[in-house]
């Protein structure tokens, strides 16, 4: 046993010290990891110069889709429905536009606006009922929320058939879904008996007559939850080392292995989460390199890194704030009181969606577990702390981490065997951890391998031992877990596959759609 432990220790000496081993991992489209050199001049020049207003106006008018309250003196406040004219829009990759408000609370003022809060006037994107990137389950949650009345509706991209659209309608407390089919000549129909040249005309028609739908379309679904802006403001997109004085800590939300997490406010305007790192938990240079990469990763199911304060200890990591804390705490608190199996599967599919994005970006999480997923309102959950495991100098007292070498610990029960024994951390070792995370979800946050020690787990896994199917866990879900725990990393599914398998769990096929011509 002593020998074995020594061998494990040897294997783990470089744990968390590599980014991605090209020999181990065969990603579909390897991307070069690009790390920009960071200077710390940012705090000296925290405000970017405003670009000049071009003499010739581009002539585009945009309409605000959500309310926005200015966070800095360079921003414009506006309300949904206000008209805005971008004056210096840059290319499509620019997240903040310099604009003039034409109507509304800031009429005739100029300033920066988040580009993802506006859409070209009269375009499909500007339609209040158009929710293209909304998943079927999210559409159901949104339509069933208190703000909506009978007949509330939205049109979204269909998940099961790329390029197709679906109409989701609230009818007597239930949400019904209809396929919107496209004609070869560009028109649309819900029932073959009636075609429409545009979606707008289709909506107008079914807002006047139910004509085969379960109910006449009433108000579009309310757009209550504004998307995250890309970065805190125009100024912090590049200058993201922000002055510590601009961040106020309001209350402690929790404490983790490496420091504390506080609810805070940035610039006296914007709620944020602030992770304060214990002195010595990481080398600021390593962290800054990793953080350069992390801040480029943007996805609705990933916690967005907004800014950092690294010039003094403790280092601050400023991210979006999630109202319900970690998924682990959320599951343990609930214990089935409000979370049903459908919610649990949905939580898993959201994590898979965030991880599928990391997979596509050729990035490895390295510490995927329910404690590193955060929950917001309406069971929205997002993957947090991706990449941080690489830069932490592990020295915690947490019993969930296994000491492989002095100063090197990692969470054994979540870690794939090849990562434990050969230091092979890949997206496939993340898939293994995802299988454990599914176990945590389905058991409401139970410790994996509840009767075994870390060392027993390390010993038993190579002999083929796997956790048995938890009580009340559907076989389909347990089969997915077992796929994640295949011996050979290459035999484990991709996160993309895991995402659709979980999304398909509840009858996602075409037959689950209502048929308008039936009525």
Q: How far is the CB of 320 from ligand AMP (least distance, A)?
A: 6
For ligand AMP, the nearest residue by Cβ is: 256
97 close to 112: Cβ distance less than 8 angstroms:
yes
Rounded CA-CA distance 186/203 in Å is 16
Q: How far is the CB of 392 from ligand AMP (least distance, A)?
A: 11
Kindly provide the b/e burial profile for residues 85-104, where b requires at least 16 CB atoms within 10 angstroms of the residue's own CB: bbbbeeeeeebbbbbbbbbb
> In the complex with ligand AMP, which residue's Cβ is closer, 53 or 255?
255
* Cα separations in angstroms, 362 against 305, 355, 356, 445, 485: 18, 10, 10, 29, 21
Structure tokens at 269: 């305007």
Element (H, E) at 111: strand 110-114
Q: How many CB atoms lie within 10 A of CB 159?
A: 18
State which residue, 213 or 381, has the beta carbon closest to ligand AMP.
381
* Distance of closest approach, residue 274 Cβ to ligand AMP, in angstroms: 9
CB of 452 within 8 A of CB of 460? Answer: yes
Dist CA 154 CA 135 (whole Å):
11
Quote the least distance from Cβ 302 to ligand AMP, whole Å.
11
Cα(470)–Cα(439) distance, rounded to whole angstroms?
A: 8
Nearer to ligand AMP, 267 or 304 (CB): 304
Active site residue 75: no
Min separation Cβ 256 and ligand AMP, Å: 2
Classify residue 12 by burial, with Cβ atoms within 10 Å: 0-12, 13-18, 19+.
Answer: buried
Reference 422, options 19, 1, 20, 24; nearest CA is: 24
The DSSP bridge partners found for residue 382 are 374
Question: Which two structure tokens, joined as six digits, stand for 481?
Answer: 């877990």
Minimum CB separation from ligand AMP for residue 286, in Å? 18
Which residues bind to ligand AMP, rule: CB under 6 A?
253-256, 261, 273, 303, 319, 321-322, 325-326, 329, 371, 374, 385
Least Cβ distance, residue 374 to ligand AMP (angstroms): 5
Catalytic residue among 82, 138, 367, 385: 367
Cβ 461 to ligand AMP shortest distance, Å: 25
Nearer to ligand AMP, 326 or 429 (CB): 326
Burial class (CB in 10 A: 0-12, 13-18, 19+), 116: middle
- Whole-number Å distance between alpha carbons of 174 and 71: 39
What is the C-alpha to C-alpha distance for residues 56 and 271, in angstroms, rounded to an integer? 37
Nearer residue to ligand AMP within complex by CB, 110 or 319: 319
Least Å distance between CB 46 and ligand AMP? 23
Q: How many residues does the chain have?
A: 519
Q: Give the residue with the Cβ less far from ligand AMP, 85 or 290.
A: 290
Distances from the Cα of 16 to the Cα of 136, 380, 408, 454, angstroms: 37, 29, 8, 18
Query: Which parts of 145-188 fold into alpha helices (H)?
Result: none
| Pick 10 or 255: Cβ nearer ligand AMP | 255
In the complex with ligand AMP, the residue whose CB is nearer, 211 or 334, is 334
Minimum CB distance to ligand AMP smaller for 215 or for 253: 253
- Phi then psi dihedrals of residue 247, to 5 deg: -115, 125
Q: Check the CA dihedral 15-17-23-29 and report its sign.
A: positive
Cβ atoms 383, 351 nearer than 8 A: yes
DSSP summary character for residue 449: S
CA 154/CA 168 separation, integer angstroms: 6
Catalytic machinery residues: 367
């Amino acid at each position: 046993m002593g020998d074995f432990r020594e061998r494990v220790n040897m294997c783990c000496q470089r744990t968390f010290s590599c980014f991605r081993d090209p020999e181990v991992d065969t990603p579909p489209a390897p991307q070069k990891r690009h790390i920009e050199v960071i200077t710390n001049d940012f705090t000296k020049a925290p405000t970017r110069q405003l670009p000049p207003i071009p003499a010739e106006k581009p002539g585009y008018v945009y309409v605000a889709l959500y309310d926005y309250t200015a966070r800095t003196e360079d921003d414009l406040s506006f309300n949904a429905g206000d008209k805005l004219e971008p004056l210096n829009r840059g290319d499509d990759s620019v997240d903040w536009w310099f604009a003039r408000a034409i109507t509304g609370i800031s009429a005739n003022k100029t300033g920066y606006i988040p580009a993802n809060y506006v859409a070209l006037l009269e375009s499909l994107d500007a339609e209040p009922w158009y929710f293209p990137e909304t998943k079927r389950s999210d559409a159901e949650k949104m339509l069933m929320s208190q703000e909506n009345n009978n007949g509330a509706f939205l049109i979204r991209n269909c998940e099961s058939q790329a390029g197709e659209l679906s109409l989701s309608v609230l009818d007597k407390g239930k949400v019904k879904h209809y396929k919107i089919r496209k004609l070869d000549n560009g028109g649309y129909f819900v029932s073959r008996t009636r075609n429409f040249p545009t979606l707008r005309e289709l909506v107008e028609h079914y807002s006047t007559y139910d004509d085969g739908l379960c109910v006449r379309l009433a108000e579009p679904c309310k757009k209550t939850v504004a998307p995250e802006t890309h970065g805190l403001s125009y100024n912090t997109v590049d200058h993201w080392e922000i002055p510590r004085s601009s961040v106020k800590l309001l209350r402690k939300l929790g404490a983790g292995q490496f420091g504390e997490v506080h609810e805070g406010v940035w610039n006296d305007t914007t709620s944020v989460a602030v992770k304060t790192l214990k002195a010595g938990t990481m080398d600021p240079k390593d962290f800054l390199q990793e953080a350069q990469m992390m801040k480029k990763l943007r996805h609705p199911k990933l916690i967005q890194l907004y800014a950092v304060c690294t010039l003094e200890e403790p280092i601050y990591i400023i991210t979006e704030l999630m109202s319900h804390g970690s998924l682990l705490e959320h599951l343990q608190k609930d214990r089935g009181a409000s979370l049903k199996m459908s919610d649990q599967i949905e939580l898993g599919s959201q994590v898979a969606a965030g991880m599928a994005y990391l997979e596509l970006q050729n990035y490895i999480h390295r510490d995927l577990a329910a404690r590193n997923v955060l929950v917001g309102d309406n069971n929205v959950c997002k993957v947090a702390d991706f990449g941080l495991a690489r830069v932490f100098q592990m020295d915690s007292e947490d019993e969930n981490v296994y000491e492989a070498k002095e100063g090197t610990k990692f969470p054994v029960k979540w870690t794939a065997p090849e990562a434990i024994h050969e230091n092979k951390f890949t997206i496939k070792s993340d898939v293994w951890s995802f299988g454990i995370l599914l176990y945590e979800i389905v058991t409401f946050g139970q410790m994996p391998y509840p009767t075994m020690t870390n060392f027993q787990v390390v010993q038993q896994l190579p002999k083929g031992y796997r956790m048995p199917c938890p009580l009340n866990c559907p076989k389909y879900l347990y089969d997915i877990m077992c796929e994640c725990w295949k011996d050979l990393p290459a035999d484990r599914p991709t996160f993309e596959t895991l995402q659709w398998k979980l999304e398909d769990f509840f009858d996602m096929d075409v037959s689950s759609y209502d048929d308008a011509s039936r009525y």
